[in-house]
Chains A and B, each alone.
Chain A
């Protein structure tokens, strides 16, 4: 069920009404769990079984792990959990890619083979909830936390609908304790939750879908090379589109949870105001980068095993992080380029006194702009549908195309530049403050006017509900 659909509005109204009835807390939690399954099943009912498998396997694996005395047995149980979760993820997400790659390789060797066509539908949000449940079993294995005593609370942690299909990827310690005591939103929480939901919807429906998707669609779907200006506008528009789309979703998720009285952490913090790439990854899809840090980078040795090993660990983490986004080698390259950015940044920090440099006026701002452009270039691997298009776009960006096409209208040039400038200024202005602080600093009448405007424009823009880009991951 999409947040930007009429069906969700009806669903959410019913959930809110029941959640606020004078019922026992346990009954309310059962209601939330059932609602979460309905939310997921609304898209494709049979895939709820995957959620159940994940829940049951990790529940029993973690409990058995905590009882087991021998390390070997604990390891075996962890492997079982990893195999079950990553097995499902691999089959549904990477099955087709792996088969195709295998066929290509053996055909290259000279063996003729055609694999049967795999018509696998990707269960929405599988990457998100797989990582979420994995964090639970790994934490129990590492004795960072005790296994959960209530199956209901654990099942709700895996399934909680606001962040089920596109994150933020919440950790057990962030969410499970919230299920222990009765929760109901206060007037302030409810109103603020609705504001966050409205703002997220506006970002998605109006900015990302209504304006930017047209620019990215026409540049990335053009029949052949596009002009330099069009290529840059397309790439930069995609940078903004993916931000507004995904940050919009996260904002909606946070707002919905808040309306029910729950707190979900931020997933974005002005990412395009990042100065440098490690700063970028502290601001972009924060829940994923923290997950990768805690469950991949640090277990690999982090930066504790020497410089060379640190670089290898960084590259490995980013490559796998790239592949997490999708079943295509383009995502692997995207992760690889980000890995290279991070390694280069570390190397530069060895030779340049960055603290001194950053103290100079304008340098941090220019650094943020440079980071934005470098990050934007990597989005080409995301937005292009195949390698040929990637090559075309890079050639177009650097003026290497013959007879390029002009595809972006004056209106869209104007709107894209306006949105980009506004986005970069806003990110820079609020790079170290929270949205709540911005609301506090805004005069009440202006805040109300802003809220009315975004809601009215969202309603009037209407259109068909299109899926969030990050659903495919």
Chain B
């Protein structure tokens, strides 16, 4: 730190500029860039690139705000990624005439949203709440389990945020129209990462870097790409990543099941007292993930107790022959085709049980 005397008459600053003619370069830059973008757009259209929205809390916040304008008896989908893959909004709409609103978020617990809904005096709708045991009954600690709290915080902060509303409007305008704006598949860094020729060290816990294997639409519907569903090697890789993900989570242990169930019960009671309805749905999992869940979050200690103590109607895939036969794409999530079948069956089951008109 210099002990320099502050001058009383100090000059204003004027930035120096390069002597080379930068504006000439600018013209070239604009020309080349526009050409490159046009070429990328042609390629994206040739590849029939699907519309894909970024994984950002803003997308969830957008859905949450939509709830204000929807009827009080709106049907909601809550849960984690299994709900986003396995419950198909279009199918539900076609079969029931009502379009559900999804508030599901990957890797995140649904309890915080249920708490918000319980406090929302106007809500009288039906909540289809996905129960992924390895998330609902996991101990707090891993960052992803707190993502829903983050979404809710953002929703409270952004109601008046002009930049949020502007960026949402621009996303919803641009993404369906300009294919290359859905750039996940063409990201240079992502492509370099997944094609890097050097093997990783043995025993490495790889970071959660999202690979372009599926799309997310504006309504938070996730769909795996057909190419991924057919790619055995890639599926194996994702299963490995899911394994690591879940083992990492186990480091924090499992939650106090009694406490989790009690919290659900309190919230369900509040919603039902106002005329709302909550249905719990256990979507399929299999292979290593299925065994992992059975070992650490046994059905009789988690799901069955949840249904019994809350008094809610529950649909466990294992209790229905058609659902039991379903195989996940990568041990944890359904394909689009199976998602349609699952949704159709679920509607039938709920209608038969009088849970759905």
Show the binding face of A for B, using Cβ within 8 Å: 1-2, 5-8, 10-11, 38, 41-46, 121, 143-145, 171, 173-175, 177-178, 187-192, 194-195, 206, 210-211, 214, 217-218, 221-224, 254, 258, 263-265, 278, 281-282, 289, 292-294, 297-298, 302-304, 314, 317, 342, 405-412, 414, 434, 436-437, 439-440, 442, 444, 447-448, 451-452, 455-457, 459-465
B20 touches A412 (CB 8 A): no
Binary contact readout B19-39 vs A (1 if CB under 8 angstroms, 0 otherwise): 111111110110011001100
Given contacts A303-B3, A459-B37, contact A406 B204 (CB under 8 A): yes
Residues of A within 8 A of B248 (CB): 223
For the complex, what is the distance from the CA of A206 to the CA of B190, rounded to whole Å? 11
A189 touches B167 (CB 8 A): no
Among candidates A434, A440, A462, residue contacting B183 with C-beta atoms closer than 8 Å: A462
Judged by a CB distance under 8 angstroms, whether B196 is at the interface is: yes
B157 touches A457 (CB 8 A): no
Among candidates A190, A294, A411, residue contacting B23 with C-beta atoms closer than 8 Å: A190
Closest to A313 in B: B1
Say which one of B4-12, B281-289, B341-349 lies at the interface with A: B4-12
Among candidates A11, A314, A440, A447, residue contacting B166 with C-beta atoms closer than 8 Å: A11
For the complex, what is the distance from the CA of A278 to the CA of B2, rounded to whole Å? 8
A412 touches B33 (CB 8 A): no
Closest to A440 in B: B18
A294 touches B25 (CB 8 A): no
For the complex, what is the distance from the CA of A172 to the CA of B201, rounded to whole Å? 54
Residues of B within 8 A of A171 (CB): 10
B162 touches A461 (CB 8 A): no
For the complex, what is the distance from the CA of A408 to the CA of B196, rounded to whole Å? 14
A42 touches B162 (CB 8 A): yes
Judged by a CB distance under 8 angstroms, whether B321 is at the interface is: no
A293 touches B4 (CB 8 A): yes
Say which one of B51-59, B65-73, B95-103 lies at the interface with A: B51-59
Residues of A within 8 A of B2 (CB): 278, 282, 293
For the complex, what is the distance from the CA of A436 to the CA of B22, rounded to whole Å? 11
A409 touches B12 (CB 8 A): no
Nearest Cβ on chain B to A353's Cβ, whole angstroms: 20
A411 touches B198 (CB 8 A): yes
For the complex, what is the distance from the CA of A210 to the CA of B210, rounded to whole Å? 12
Closest to A121 in B: B157
For the complex, what is the distance from the CA of A214 to the CA of B186, rounded to whole Å? 19
Residues of A within 8 A of B46 (CB): none
B33 touches A409 (CB 8 A): no
Interface centre among B19, B166, B183, B192 (most CB of A within 10 A): B166
For the complex, what is the distance from the CA of A121 to the CA of B2, rounded to whole Å? 36
Given contacts A217-B207, A281-B1, contact A444 B188 (CB under 8 A): no
Residues of B within 8 A of A218 (CB): 207
Nearest Cβ on chain A to B188's Cβ, whole angstroms: 5
Judged by a CB distance under 8 angstroms, whether B42 is at the interface is: no
Residues of A within 8 A of B26 (CB): 191, 194-195, 451
A464 touches B196 (CB 8 A): no
Among candidates A214, A411, A448, residue contacting B192 with C-beta atoms closer than 8 Å: A411
For the complex, what is the distance from the CA of A62 to the CA of B129, rounded to whole Å? 60
- Counting chain B residues whose Cβ lies within 8 A of the other chain, the interface size class is 35 or more
Residues of A within 8 A of B23 (CB): 187-188, 190-191
Judged by a CB distance under 8 angstroms, whether B171 is at the interface is: yes
Among candidates B6, B16, B166, residue contacting A144 with C-beta atoms closer than 8 Å: B6
Q: Which 10 A-B pairs have the closest CB atoms?
A: A464-B56, A7-B166, A42-B163, A42-B162, A191-B23, A439-B18, A302-B3, A411-B196, A191-B22, A462-B183
B204 touches A460 (CB 8 A): no
A188 touches B207 (CB 8 A): no
B3 touches A298 (CB 8 A): yes
Closest to A145 in B: B8
Nearest Cβ on chain B to A243's Cβ, whole angstroms: 19
Closest to B158 in A: A44
Among candidates B11, B25, B184, residue contacting A462 with C-beta atoms closer than 8 Å: B184
A7 touches B170 (CB 8 A): yes
For the complex, what is the distance from the CA of A87 to the CA of B26, rounded to whole Å? 46
For the complex, what is the distance from the CA of A355 to the CA of B29, rounded to whole Å? 46
Nearest Cβ on chain B to A343's Cβ, whole angstroms: 11
Given A224-B251, A444-B25, A455-B29, 18 more contacts at CB 8 Å? Answer: A7-B162, A44-B157, A173-B11, A175-B12, A188-B18, A191-B25, A211-B189, A217-B207, A264-B13, A265-B13, A289-B1, A298-B3, A304-B3, A439-B22, A456-B36, A459-B33, A461-B187, A462-B183
Among candidates B171, B187, B192, B200, residue contacting A463 with C-beta atoms closer than 8 Å: B187
A317 touches B1 (CB 8 A): yes
Nearest Cβ on chain B to A96's Cβ, whole angstroms: 15
Among candidates B22, B29, B58, B251, residue contacting A223 with C-beta atoms closer than 8 Å: B251
Residues of B within 8 A of A465 (CB): 167
Closest to B202 in A: A406
Residues of chain B in range 130-151 having any CB-CB distance to chain A below 8 Å: 141, 143
B13 touches A406 (CB 8 A): no
Nearest Cβ on chain A to B84's Cβ, whole angstroms: 17
Residues of B within 8 A of A258 (CB): 15
Binary contact readout B158-197 vs A (1 if CB under 8 angstroms, 0 otherwise): 0011110011001100100000010110111100110010
Given contacts A303-B3, A414-B196, A463-B54, contact A42 B22 (CB under 8 A): no
Residues of A within 8 A of B58 (CB): 464
For the complex, what is the distance from the CA of A43 to the CA of B159, rounded to whole Å? 10
A434 touches B16 (CB 8 A): yes
B1 touches A293 (CB 8 A): yes
A410 touches B163 (CB 8 A): no
Given contacts A42-B161, A303-B3, contact A195 B22 (CB under 8 A): yes
B17 touches A174 (CB 8 A): no
For the complex, what is the distance from the CA of A8 to the CA of B166, rounded to whole Å? 9
A436 touches B16 (CB 8 A): yes
Closest to B4 in A: A293
Residues of A within 8 A of B204 (CB): 406-409
Given contacts A44-B161, A210-B189, contact A410 B33 (CB under 8 A): no
Interface centre among B2, B14, B22, B24 (most CB of A within 10 A): B22
For the complex, what is the distance from the CA of A462 to the CA of B21, rounded to whole Å? 29
For the complex, what is the distance from the CA of A439 to the CA of B19, rounded to whole Å? 8
For the complex, what is the distance from the CA of A93 to the CA of B32, rounded to whole Å? 46
Among candidates B1, B4, B16, B174, residue contacting A342 with C-beta atoms closer than 8 Å: B1
Nearest Cβ on chain B to A130's Cβ, whole angstroms: 20
For the complex, what is the distance from the CA of A42 to the CA of B181, rounded to whole Å? 24
Closest to B210 in A: A463
For the complex, what is the distance from the CA of A210 to the CA of B188, rounded to whole Å? 10
Closest to A297 in B: B1
A452 touches B17 (CB 8 A): no
Binary contact readout B238-254 vs A (1 if CB under 8 angstroms, 0 otherwise): 00000000001001100
